[in-house]
Amino acid sequence: MMAVLYLLVFGFYSYIVFIFARAGFRFVCDRGKGRLWGGAFATFIGLVGFGAVFWDAIPTWYTHHHLCKTEGGLKVYITPEQWAKENPEAFARVRAAAGGQQTRRSEDTRETWHSWVETTQDFTYEYFDRRARDYAFHTGISRQKMIYKPTGQVLFEEVDFYSSAGKNSLAGGANSFADYKFWTVTGGCERAYPDMKNKFQHKGLTFSDLAKQIYDWNQK
């Protein structure tokens, strides 16, 4: 439904720009400047018309793509299986405490969302979402990690980027012009660029797959 609405808005605005461009073409031709000059003027009107609204589309997507390509992705420092083999005593303690209740806590501020889940004894899943856009053209960062609490060792982490000019979506209730700028909404890296799928996998496993291995340690 939202996609249809987007297309309708874009189609209506395109039609308005087309009307002005056609009028500009006729204006120039009627004054004997020729079709070439008329076409150039109509193109100029079109560029101004679309640029006035959609000027930030290309730089937003370029910035997002660049960050996804250079900084985004899954980083595995040690797999759960490797960790268990290298730390048999610590792993035995984790398994001995299996069945324990998972605890959650979070900090929600205007600029960040930060949460922690005690997945098993001694392991914490951490998620961080920077609501404030620290990067150019409405781009923010999210990060998730799996941490061994006693030493602070990070087993694996994932860095993702997303862009959006507004703070709310049309579906969620837009309350500013920025919320209507759907052309700046990229989604996460993997969703926006399917060819980057491998950056978010380790030997075919995603962050969720690796995290589940540790979650399963808490099962008796």
Lowest-pLDDT range of 40-49, 140-149, 173-182: 173-182
- 77 and 185 fall within a common domain: yes
- 110 and 169 fall within a common domain: yes
Between the CA atoms of 61, 62, 64 and 65, what dihedral angle is there, to the nearest 10 degrees? 110
- 38 and 95 fall within a common domain: no
Query: Considering only CA atoms, which of 48, 28, 54, 52 is closest in space to residue 39?
Result: 28
More confident residue, 40 or 171: 40
Domain end, chosen from 55, 80, 99, is at 55
pLDDT for res 152:
93
Question: For residue 40, what are the domain limits?
Answer: 1-55
- 9 and 79 fall within a common domain: no
User: Is residue 167 scored above 70 in pLDDT?
Assistant: no
More confident residue, 155 or 13: 155
Domain end, chosen from 55, 74, 100, is at 55
- 207 and 99 fall within a common domain: yes
User: Dihedral sign, CA of 145, 147, 153, 156?
Assistant: negative
| 85 vs 108: CA distance, rounded Å | 37
Here the tokens at position 207 are 């962050």
